[in-house]
């Protein structure tokens, strides 16, 4: 890829080419019982394997006719270069890794989908690798993963992406990586960020605008940066509207359905009962629904609920959930694109900050408070 720089002129040649055509045609009748290699192509084309290699790698130093012949033979015998051998010679694997320890299946699937879309376009394949930050082998495990497969790059999803030790391991390994996070941490160049502040602030304005004053908030687990972002932005925006979130109106959940139920039970059995609850993600919002229904609290008449993520469950719930759309698929695509560009252009570090914003989606679960 680094050699065989662009030529300045081009002078076609003849002679060998015409003869080869015949050979090639003759060769096609010949069937191989194993996958064809570059040597087979070279032999059939009466050319050295290096020339075939040049064709494969789009080197400009190949006569147009020769190239045509070789391409025809490649086409006819169905030759495909072995990524193993290529990787060995190139010192590259054409493999990207996706490291995640996120319990939210939908988020992962969406991310994965976006990543795969970008991979597909660039000829990369994706190796997925779930892990567990709480495991003592976590770091070693991640290290082995990257080293063993010789990954060209790794995409790390939160909350694993927010683990500084993991980042250090990746850097030590010299492995290019892109992190997804709710905030741009220490290194903007290696990150794709999603702006949760925007969405959370919109929710605050929405609730304030509807006239809610007794507002409950279910925060995410503190190890997630997104939890901080959503909380701070929400609280701050409420304050701008002259509303102060009382401490007892804030509960910390774990981004799970069950924790949503638990937190909602606490909030809804307090006096004064909140007229609106903002849960930091849709899963917990679903827990709030269930709790409210169990307690005979009507949604949205007696309780406005807002979630975050716009996962499929938001529309499955009844009434449908007002939430904040987090474009996970776009995030995945952006991350992969960023990584692939960096790999292909051989840059050590990217320079542009990349990110997406989250916007509120108003549905049926948010209405003005009663009375």
What residues make contact with a copy of itself under the rule CB under 8 A? 35, 80, 82-85, 87-88, 93, 95, 105-106, 108-110, 112-113, 116, 125-130, 144-145, 147-150, 257, 286, 289-290, 293-294, 312-313, 315-318
53 binds DNA (CB under 7 A): yes
Q: CB of 192: closest distance to DNA in angstroms? A: 30
Residue 232 vs 330, nearer CB to a copy of itself: 330
Residue 84 vs 352, nearer CB to DNA: 84
The item of DNA, a copy of itself, none sharing an interface with residue 61, based on CB under 5 to 8 Å by kind, is DNA
The item of DNA, a copy of itself, none sharing an interface with residue 345, based on CB under 5 to 8 Å by kind, is none
The item of DNA, a copy of itself, none sharing an interface with residue 127, based on CB under 5 to 8 Å by kind, is a copy of itself
**Residue in the structure block whose two tokens are 């490649």:** 74
Sign of CA pseudo-dihedral 307, 309, 314, 315: positive
Which of 34, 134, 148, 351 binds DNA (CB under 7 A)? It is: 34
The item of a copy of itself, DNA, none sharing an interface with residue 37, based on CB under 5 to 8 Å by kind, is DNA
Residue 67 vs 246, nearer CB to DNA: 67
13 binds DNA (CB under 7 A): yes
Residue 103 vs 209, nearer CB to a copy of itself: 103
Residue 94 vs 295, nearer CB to DNA: 94
Residue 3 vs 29, nearer CB to DNA: 3
Residue 127 vs 189, nearer CB to a copy of itself: 127
* Rama region for 295: left / alpha / beta (φ>0; ψ in -120 to 50; rest): alpha
21 binds DNA (CB under 7 A): no
CB burial string 246-275: b at 16+ within 10 A, e below: eeebbbebbbbbebbbbbbbebbeeeeebb
Q: How many residues bind DNA (CB under 7 A)?
A: 47
117's CB contacts (< 8 A; 6+ apart) are 329, 332, 333, 336
Scanning 59-67, 238-246, 260-268, 337-345 for contacts with DNA by CB under 7 A, the matching segment is 59-67
148 binds DNA (CB under 7 A): no
Give dist(CA 50, CA 45) in Å, integer.
12
39 binds DNA (CB under 7 A): yes
Residue 87 vs 368, nearer CB to a copy of itself: 87
54 binds DNA (CB under 7 A): yes
Which of 22, 31, 33, 89 binds DNA (CB under 7 A)? It is: 89
Both tokens assigned to 62: 């190949």
Which residues sit at the interface with DNA, rule CB under 7 A? Answer: 1-4, 7-13, 15-16, 34-35, 37-39, 46-54, 56-57, 60-64, 66-67, 79-82, 84-86, 88-91
């Amino acid at each position: 890829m680094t050699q065989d720089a662009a030529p300045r002129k081009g002078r076609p040649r003849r002679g060998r080419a015409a003869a080869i055509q015949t050979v090639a045609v003759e060769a096609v009748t010949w069937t191989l019982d194993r996958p064809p290699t570059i040597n087979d192509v070279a032999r059939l084309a009466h050319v050295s394997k290096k020339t075939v290699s040049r064709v494969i790698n789009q080197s400009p130093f190949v006569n147009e006719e020769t190239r045509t012949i070789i391409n025809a033979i490649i086409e006819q015998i169905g030759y495909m270069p072995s990524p193993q051998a290529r990787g060995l010679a190139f010192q590259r694997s054409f493999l990207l890794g996706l490291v995640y320890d996120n319990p939210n299946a939908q988020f992962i699937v969406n991310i994965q989908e976006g990543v795969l879309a970008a991979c597909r376009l660039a000829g990369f394949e994706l190796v997925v690798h779930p892990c567990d930050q709480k495991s003592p082998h976590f770091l070693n495990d991640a290290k082995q993963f990257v080293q063993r497969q010789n990954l060209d790059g790794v995409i790390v999803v939160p909350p694993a992406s927010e683990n500084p030790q993991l980042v250090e391991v990746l850097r030590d390994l010299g492995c290019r990586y892109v992190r997804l996070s709710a905030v741009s941490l220490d290194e903007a160049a290696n990150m794709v960020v999603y702006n949760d502040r925007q969405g959370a602030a919109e929710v605050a304005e929405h609730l304030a605008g509807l006239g809610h004053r007794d507002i409950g908030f279910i925060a995410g687990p503190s190890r997630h940066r997104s939890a901080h972002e959503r909380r701070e932005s929400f609280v701050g925006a409420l304050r701008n509207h002259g509303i102060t979130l009382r401490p007892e109106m804030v509960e910390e959940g774990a981004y799970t359905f069950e924790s949503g139920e638990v937190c909602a039970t606490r909030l809804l059995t307090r006096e004064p009962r909140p007229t609106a609850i903002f849960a930091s993600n849709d899963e917990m919002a679903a827990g709030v629904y269930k709790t409210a229904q169990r307690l005979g609290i009507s949604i949205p008449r007696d309780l406005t609920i807002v979630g975050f993520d716009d996962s499929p469950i938001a529309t499955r719930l009844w009434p449908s959930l007002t939430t904040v759309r987090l474009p996970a698929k776009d995030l995945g695509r952006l991350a992969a694109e960023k990584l692939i560009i960096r790999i292909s252009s051989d840059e050590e570090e990217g320079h542009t900050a990349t990110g997406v914003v989250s916007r509120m989606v108003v549905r049926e679960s948010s209405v003005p408070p009663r009375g």
